[in-house]
Every structure is written in C-alpha cells, then in structure tokens.
Structure 1
Amino acid sequence: MSEEILINVTPQETRVAAIENGVLQEVYVERARSRGIVGNVYKGRVARILPGMQAAFVDIGLNRAAFLHASDIRTPEAPARERAAVALDQSGAAVARVSNGNAWPAPRINELLHDEQELVVQVVKDPLGTKGARLTTQITLPARYLVYMPYSRHIGVSQRIGDDTTRERLRNLLRSLTESDEGGYILRTMAETAAEEEIETDVRYLRRIWSACQERIKSAKPGELIHEDLPLALRAMRDLVRANVEKIRIDSRETYLKAIDFAIKFIPETAERIEYYPGERPIFDLYSVEDEIQKALARKVLLKSGGYLVIDQTEAMTTIDVNTGAYVGRKSLEETLFKTNLEAAQAIARQLRLRNLGGMIIVDFIDMSDPDHKRAVLRALEKALARDRTKVYMTEMSPLGLVELTRKRTRESLEHVLCQPCPVCQGRGTLKTPQTVCYEIFREILREARQFGADEYLVVASQVVIDLLLDEEATSLLQLQEFIGKPIQLKVEPLYHQEQYDVVLL
C-alpha cells in the first residue's frame, strides 16, 4: 500500500494529510493561535484535591485547571509499567491489578498529593470542550523508534511487532545500549526494521532531551513549560513516515528546509523522499483534500453502492447509522443488506481516522439474519480498523445489530477544530468559525491570483468575518497583499451568514 504525506503551511496554520493509494485517510490541523499541548511537560501546582473522585485539579498555567487522576500518579509501590487498571472496590478503596495477577491497595489521593504541592506533569489529552487537560506524572518522551520513560526501568516492545524473535532481538539490543540509563524505553512499531545505529541515535537524542528537561525543572516555577513537543510538520515526520511512505511533499520552503535538517539528523533514510512543492495549484487541491475535508464535516457519507452512513457527534458518544439508500441489490434482501454492511465497514474505519472520532462510538449496522454474514461484517470492520494508528477496541455485534467501539481520544475531532456550535440552531448543527472562513478566503485569493490574476480583489462577507480580517487577521491580510502584489478591499454584506463569502476580481 503506497502512501504520501502532504504538508500545507501558512503563517496561520499547518495542515498534514495522509494519503493512501490516492485516498485521503487522515488530516491533522495545528493553528498558531491554538497549538495542541499533548506531550508538553509542565511544572504544576495542586489547586484542589477531590477525594470523592480520587483526583486533583492542577494549575499548569492554562485558562482551566488540568485533571490528574490517582491512577496517573507515579508511586514507588505501583510503577506505571505494572499497573493495568485502577478501580474502586465496594468499600470505596482504590484497588489495582498488577502484572503478576495479585492485587495491591492503591494509595488514596490524599496520601499522594496535598494542596499547593508542586509536581512535574505531562499532558496526555488536550482540553476538550468544557473539560481541562488530562495529566500524568509518568513522563514519556517520544523519538522516531523509541519512547523514553525516565521514571521507569521497563523495556517494552510495541504490540504491533508480532514476531517473537524480532521482539526479543530488539529488547536485547536496547538493553545493551541503555545499561547505564536510569530510565526505561518502549520500542515503537517502526523499530521493527530499524538498524542498530538508528536506535542508538534515538537513545542519544532522548538522553539530551531529558537532560535539558532536568535543568529546566530545577529552576521552573509552577505554571511554566518544561518541554514542548515538536511542531506538527516535524511530528508528522517523526510519527507518520513509515517504509511504505513514498513521498513527503511540503509547500513551504522554510518548513521543507527544517524537515530536511530534521530528517538528516534523526531519520536519514527519509531525506530523499522529502520534496518541496512550488506549484501554483494549492497542494491540497492537487489531491482533492479540500473537497474531502468538506465532506468530512457533513453528517451524511455516501457509499459507492448507493447506501450511506449518517454520523452524529454528541458530547457523550458518536453514533453511526448504516442505511441501504438507493441500493436494491440483484439477489435477495439478505444479500443486499450484507453487501451494504461490508462496504460500510470499510467506510466507517476510514471516517474514524479522517474525522478523528474518539471516545464511545456506536455503529448501527442494518439488521442481518444470517450469523455468517454478521461474523463476516465484524471481521471486515476489525481488519479495516487494524490500519488505524490510534487504539480502537471493538465488541461483538448485539442482537440489534449494534457494535460498540472505543477509540482513544487525545485531541479534538476535525469537526470541533474547524467548526463551532451554531447559535441559530442552539447547538443542533455547526458552522465553520470566522477564523476558518478567513483562511478559506486567503486560500481562495491565492488560487485566483495564481490562475487568473487581477488588478484588485474585493472580499464580500459577513460582518463577523470582515471584523476579524480588520482586527486579528489584519497582519495576515497585509502579508497576503504583499505576497500577491495587489490590493484587497473588504465589504460587509449584512445578508450573508457566517460561512458565506465571495471573492470578486476587479
């Protein structure tokens, strides 16, 4: 399976698209004004203990206090490598299962933390909706092939490396390279084909990072950043580029040079696959990525057979309903339902990745009476989900045709990044944010300037969008005018809604 990574960079945002066999599979968006903080390490201060929830709110310098659960606090009695789960027994005492099958009494939150205590924490989940960030005290620092755990001595191997001989070889190699290290490591999936020199390079890199962190920890005050993860473009180089990735195409020369430098230092085998894209046509247009993003914001997903999916996101869960639509089949009704469900299974796995849907997901397949057909649909869904980079757990199909999924959620879904709740419909639908519309206008002007050219451009849009262009995005608008060498005029159209705009060539 061939794959390409596209990186689109503007001063306002960076977008990364993963393309498999010409089809968009994943999109990542990082905006300069609201970068994600997963992986960042902070010096925090305990703001409030919540004994009833076995958790604490920790101030790390953000608008909202972050959440730290007792199970995410590193303790000498229960190192993170041994804890599989923490739960409350009938008396309310926290009990955990450890790797040898025995149970140990986990300390209560009051025994672990106290008010105003300072501690080093790492963000494992971005703030989502009204919830603050989720924290852990078990710090992990990722590299290309390894994850370093400074507070653990464990050597682990990714479960996706299935061959026992390879797993043992990698484990022994890493032990020989890290005998003097105080911390532990996890070998990532990409380490399966890595050379010894490449793994050794990762070890040296992670040692330098942690040494720098230790120096900052000594002098940092509560609320200060200790370590920040790489920007999106370089994270994509680190995390998304595998052996089957044929090209990494970047439309920003500055980012391209940074990517080349990063690749030469840490992943030299990928350097020759990095390309600078100077084309006049926007790189996302070249692969129809813009169209696919628009489709990913819609409730309805059309299937090739004529069937369709209806996807609804709520705060509690996401529901996916499968429908036959215009597909009537050629044989029996059961065969029609079976083929629609099989096609839907592939589409659902792709939509989870494309939309970055997380948490609880309920799939309502069309009812089938044949048990073999039910098993075949489940296996098809399971196989399609295996390509997901994010962990997905799946249950068996219920008698009503429902399948429950849980997908790890560490960042906002694509819809929540690009859209906001609609005030007109009281949250029953969504609108693109004025910022999103502004950036669409910028891209449209660039597209028009490259293809047709004009003496002047007129942007007609709603009041809120024009206000944003004149205020927060005024610098970006000025930069764009200088780049295309033409003036851009703005005009408010009171009848236009927030997403509506026109770019007029004068």
Structure 2
Amino acid sequence: MTEEILVNVTPRETRVAVVENGMLQELHIERGWRRGVVGNIYKGKVQRVMPGMQAAFVEIGLDRAAFLHANDIFRSAIAPVIDTALAATEPPLEQDGAATAPPAVVPQANGNGNGNGHAPVPPITELLREGQEIVVQVVKDPIGSKGARLTTQISIPSRYLVLLPQSKVIGVSSRIEDEAERQRLKSLVSAQASADASAGQPQHGYIVRTNAEGQPAEAIAEDIAYLGRALALIENNVRTARVGHCVYEDLTLPMRAVRDLIRRDVEKVKVDSRETCDRLRTFAAQYMPGLAEKIEHYSGARPVFDLYGVEDEIQRALDKEVPLKSGGYLVIDQTEAMTTVDVNTGSFLGQRNLEETVYRTNLEAAQAVARQLRLRNLGGIIIIDFIDMVDPEHRRQVLRTLEKSLARDHAKTTVYDFSPLGLVEMTRKRTIESLQRQLSEPCHECGGRGTLKTAETVTYEIFREITRAVRQFEAARLLVIASPKVVARITDEESAAVAELEEFLGKTIRFQADEQYTQEQFDVVLL
C-alpha cells in the first residue's frame, strides 16, 4: 500500500489530504478565522454548576460557555491540584492536546482514580463551585449549538509519547501488537521516568504512541525532554495568565499532520507552499530526523489536489449517495442524533444467486463505509443497514471486513455484532464537525429539512390565509405576493378556485410574482 500526504496552503485556509493507493482517505481543514480548539488548554472560571446534570458550564473565552461533566474531572487525594489520566490509546490528529500541572482548583474526593474510574463520582457540587478558577483542556470542538467539551484530565502529546503530568501510569498503544516491542518501549520509558525521579524531578506518566514502534532509545529520550520543556512552559503560563486566556495552543494543522500522520510507510509529503515546506522540514529534522527527507515542495503547474483528484473526491463526499464499483450504492444520512448508512444492490445483478450477490455487495460496502466514515469524519452513533444475508458465515465475514477496514482509522471505533433486525451498530469518536458541516450550511429555502412544500400545498395555505385575513380585517381587495412557480400554478390550474373564493368572500384578489420569494414564502396584503 502506497500512502502520500498532500498539504495545500492558501492565505486563509490549509488543507491536508491523506491519499492511499491513489484514493483520498482523510481530509483535514483549518481556516484562519476559525481554527479548531481541541487540545488547547485554558484558564477558565466556573460559570454555572448544574447538579441535575452532574456538570458545569465553564467560561474559557470562547463565544459559548464550555461544558464540563463530573466524569471528566480528575480527583486526587494527594494534593488539591488537577491530576491527569488518559486511557491507553493515542489521540488522533484532531485530538492532540497538551497538559499542565495547574494550581489548586479542584477539591480532592478520593485517591482511586479519575471520574472514569471505578470509584463512584461525587456530586458535582462537591467538585466545583461557581466562580472557581479551573484549568481545563478542550476535548471536543463546539459543534452546532453545543459549546466545547472540556476535561481536567490534561495531556501533552508529542511525536512518540503522550505525557500525563500528575500520573505515574506508563502504557503502550494497543496498536503496537508485538509483545517484545511493547515491553522494550515500556522499559525505555520507565527507565527514563525513574532517572527523572532520582534526579529530583517530578515523575510523570506516559502513553507510548504507535509512531514509537521501532524507534531507538535516543528518540524516546528526546521526546521526553521535549515534553518536559513544554510542561514547564505551560506551568509558567498558568501562573501568569488571566481567566479566559489560552495557556497552551496546539500546533498548526501542517505540523500536527507531520507529527501524527507521517509513518515509515508514507512515501512522500508534498507541500505546495515553499515557506510551509521549509518550516515542516525544520520541525521534522528536530523531532523525526529519519523522516524529514520525505517532505518535499510541490511546484507543479497543476494544483496538488487536482493532480490526485482530491477536489472531485471532496465534492463527492458531500453527496448522500456513494456509488460502488459493482453497481450497488450507499445512502448516507447524517442527523443530529446519529448517522445512518443504507446499502443497496442497485444495478448489480450478480452471476450465481441472490445470496451470493448480496454477500459480494455487502463486502464491497463494508470497505466503502469505513472509508466514507474516515473521509467525511462522521462520528457518534452510526447504524449500517447491510442487505439481509441468510448465511451466518457471510455475516461474520462482512463484519470482519468492516473491522479490518476500520483498523487504519485514527479515531477510536467500536463495532457491535448484527442486531436482531440485521443492523450493525457502531460508534466513532467525534471531536470536530463532520466534513459536510465544515463545508456546508443548511439550505436557506428548506431550513435544512432537505425538502420543500409543493406549489400545490403552498397554494392551499394561501387560500386559507386569505379567508382568515378577510374575517379578521376589513379590506376592499387583496394582493398576494408569492414565488413565480406558486403564482403560475394559482393563475393557471387554480383559476376556477380563485373565482369561487372571490365570489364567496365578495373581494377582489390579485396575485403578484416576486423572484425574491422562495417557494414556501408568501404575503397576503390587505388593500
């Protein structure tokens, strides 16, 4: 498998595309006027504590107050500080963040772990009070009408490690499967942590990321030193910052891409900006010398995204239907509560029997679904309606294909077995808006419903409004202003109905078409 990373830089927008075997797999977008805040650390103030929700709203300087749940508050019995904890999984590109050992902001409750541990979570009123200063990290960008999601379980990611400032846990990413390599990496980090403790420095916890696989001890030591410097800077910023200020901001998108996406199997990183390319080479030379040579400046006449067909793929990623090579297709519907994926055979007729046709369509669909979830950055609850299969082995193979195809996804996914209704339920961790919601907005005419009232429906609404207006107000005649399509229908197909209505009301009704009116808009004016 060949993999390339393309970086397209314009004055107000940066885009990073991950292309595998010539096909777009991931797209990350950062716009200058609206950079994501995931991973940033803020010094905030508790604005409101809500015991009924076991949560609090925290002011961190964004447009909307951010949300902090009791489960995301770490509690330590050692000292009244924010301790940190992190599950033994690595953060994806949009989750990379930072950590700190901030001042006294959270009262201790127990020493058995954080809010996600086995100890029961105390009432939120025992953990926070209104007006209290608190240092938090953003784990989910504001999405729709919801504010950012926060945690006090703060972490700092680097190229090979994630630093847990007040924890002593040392874990290894589950994606490193070789047991001997896992033990080697854990021993390297443990030895360095013990050496820091012997030198009188605070001992921290670490999570070893997938990128660390095969790396020498020197590279791991450099990463630990880098994380130590970053932590010291954050601690200093926390002491001097005012409430609502960001004390740590994550790297820009191109640098995050280099830090998190470049692996040894990546052939090239092509950057169409000379200045950005030079910065990335300098960054890579400092933190990943062996991979710096993979970064090259693209100076071709054609835009780099056009060269690989990325622009066309982006446009197709905004469509509901996804064609399959066999002739089948997917229908993807994203709603507020969940995303549904419907699999259809389409024009694929097969050559043997119905069960074989359905099986092959579902196998192809499983791979396409995994790619589309990654490309469109769909998260939350996802329901996949595969075509019904009779053979249990076929169902197992389709599920196995889906799980295998999701293995390269940076976001955490959980897939469940077929339900009694033949549906596959899964979840995918979401930290930022989906691609569709980043690039699109609800239709101004339909309000995001995806449908419009027919001209016939609007016609009868107009008739009812005319009757209502005449009964309430005195008027000699009426003027109805509506869209050209509605007016054309009324004056053509409904002319007899208009005449009957005029006779019944004893009023003259005139109709005027206005191009500025949408199909559902109209006004009844009393003259």
Which secondary structure state, in structure 1, belongs to the residue aligned with residue 207 of structure 2?
strand
Matching of residues 420-459 of structure 1 within 5 Å: 420-429=441-450
In the alignment, structure 1 residue 10 sits paired with structure 2 residue 46: no
Structure-2 residue corresponding to 1:25: 25
Task: Identify if the C-alpha distance between structure 1 residues 349 and 102 changes in structure 2 by more than 3 Å, giving closer, same or farther.
Answer: closer
In the alignment, structure 1 residue 131 sits paired with structure 2 residue 146: yes
Structure-2 residue corresponding to 1:395: 416
Which secondary structure state, in structure 2, belongs to the residue aligned with residue 7 of structure 1?
strand
Structure-2 residue corresponding to 1:70: 70
Matching of residues 20-419 of structure 1 within 5 Å: 20-77=20-77, 81=85, 103-179=118-194, 180=196, 181-419=202-440
Structure-2 residue corresponding to 1:459: none
Q: Which residue identity does 1:33 align to in structure 2? A: W
For the residues of structure 1 that align with 2:301 and 2:86, how far apart are their CA atoms?
54
Task: Identify if the C-alpha distance between structure 1 residues 209 and 83 changes in structure 2 by more than 3 Å, giving closer, same or farther.
Answer: closer
Segment drifting more, 287-296 vs 154-163: 154-163
Q: Is the 8 A contact 2:378 2:430 kept in 1?
A: yes
Q: Which residue identity does 2:221 align to in structure 1? A: E
For the residues of structure 1 that align with 2:386 and 2:86, how far apart are their CA atoms?
38
Please give the root-mean-square deviation of Cα atoms over the aligned residues, in Å.
2.2
Q: Is the 8 A contact 2:66 2:149 kept in 1?
A: yes
For the residues of structure 2 that align with 1:109 and 1:23, how far apart are their CA atoms?
47
Ranges in structure 1 where 5+ consecutive residues have no aligned partner: 85-93, 431-493, 498-506
Which secondary structure state, in structure 2, belongs to the residue aligned with residue 152 of structure 1?
coil
* TM-score for the superposition, normalised by structure 1: 0.81
For the residues of structure 2 that align with 1:96 and 1:356, how far apart are their CA atoms?
37
Ranges in structure 2 where 5+ consecutive residues have no aligned partner: 89-108, 197-201, 452-514, 519-527
Q: Is the 8 A contact 1:125 1:409 kept in 2?
A: yes
Q: Deviations along 1:444-471, whole A, 9 cap, x unmatched?
A: xxxxxxxxxxxxxxxxxxxxxxxxxxxx
Q: Deviations along 1:166-208, whole A, 9 cap, x unmatched?
A: 2121111101112224321110011111111111111111111
Structure-1 residue corresponding to 2:499: none
Which secondary structure state, in structure 1, belongs to the residue aligned with residue 436 of structure 2?
helix
Which structure is larger by alpha-carbon Rg, 1 or 2?
A: 2
The offset of 1:133, in angstroms, is 0.4
Q: Is the 8 A contact 1:95 1:106 kept in 2?
A: no
Q: Deviations along 1:468-506, whole A, 9 cap, x unmatched?
A: xxxxxxxxxxxxxxxxxxxxxxxxxx99x9xxxxxxxxx
Q: Is the 8 A contact 1:139 1:151 kept in 2?
A: no
Q: Which residue identity does 1:161 align to in structure 2? A: I
Q: Is the 8 A contact 1:125 1:133 kept in 2?
A: yes
Structure-1 residue corresponding to 2:477: none
Q: Which residue identity does 2:337 align to in structure 1? A: A
Q: Is the 8 A contact 1:95 1:105 kept in 2?
A: no
For the residues of structure 2 that align with 1:96 and 1:396, how far apart are their CA atoms?
37
Q: Which residue identity does 2:191 align to in structure 1? A: S
Task: Identify if the C-alpha distance between structure 1 residues 278 and 301 changes in structure 2 by more than 3 Å, giving closer, same or farther.
Answer: same
The offset of 1:77, in angstroms, is 4.9
Task: Identify if the C-alpha distance between structure 1 residues 75 and 185 changes in structure 2 by more than 3 Å, giving closer, same or farther.
Answer: same
Which secondary structure state, in structure 2, belongs to the residue aligned with residue 29 of structure 1?
strand
Q: Which residue identity does 1:154 align to in structure 2? A: V
Task: Identify if the C-alpha distance between structure 1 residues 82 and 385 changes in structure 2 by more than 3 Å, giving closer, same or farther.
Answer: closer
Q: Which residue identity does 1:159 align to in structure 2? A: S
Q: Deviations along 1:242-283, whole A, 9 cap, x unmatched?
A: 110010000001100100110111111111111101111000
The offset of 1:107, in angstroms, is 1.9
Q: Which residue identity does 1:176 align to in structure 2? A: A
For the residues of structure 2 that align with 1:420 and 1:259, how far apart are their CA atoms?
33
Identity score, percent: 58
The offset of 1:164, in angstroms, is 2.1
Which secondary structure state, in structure 2, belongs to the residue aligned with residue 217 of structure 1?
helix
Could you list the structure 1 runs, at least 4 aligned residues long, displaced by more than 4 angstroms after superposition: 77-84, 94-99
For the residues of structure 2 that align with 1:361 and 1:16, how far apart are their CA atoms?
25
For the residues of structure 2 that align with 1:421 and 1:283, how far apart are their CA atoms?
30
Q: Which residue identity does 1:13 align to in structure 2? A: E
Q: Which residue identity does 1:226 align to in structure 2? A: V
Q: Which residue identity does 2:227 align to in structure 1? A: L
Which secondary structure state, in structure 1, belongs to the residue aligned with residue 213 of structure 2?
helix
The offset of 1:98, in angstroms, is 6.8
Q: Is the 8 A contact 2:413 2:426 kept in 1?
A: yes
Segment drifting more, 20-29 vs 173-182: 173-182
The offset of 1:81, in angstroms, is 4.3
For the residues of structure 1 that align with 2:87 and 2:431, how far apart are their CA atoms?
20
Q: Is the 8 A contact 1:353 1:388 kept in 2?
A: yes
Task: Identify if the C-alpha distance between structure 1 residues 407 and 327 changes in structure 2 by more than 3 Å, giving closer, same or farther.
Answer: same
For the residues of structure 1 that align with 2:145 and 2:286, how far apart are their CA atoms?
40
For the residues of structure 1 that align with 2:380 and 2:151, how far apart are their CA atoms?
19
Q: Which residue identity does 2:175 align to in structure 1? A: R
For the residues of structure 1 that align with 2:252 and 2:72, how far apart are their CA atoms?
26
The offset of 1:373, in angstroms, is 0.9
Q: Which residue identity does 2:54 align to in structure 1? A: Q
For the residues of structure 1 that align with 2:219 and 2:120, how far apart are their CA atoms?
41
Q: Is the 8 A contact 1:322 1:366 kept in 2?
A: yes
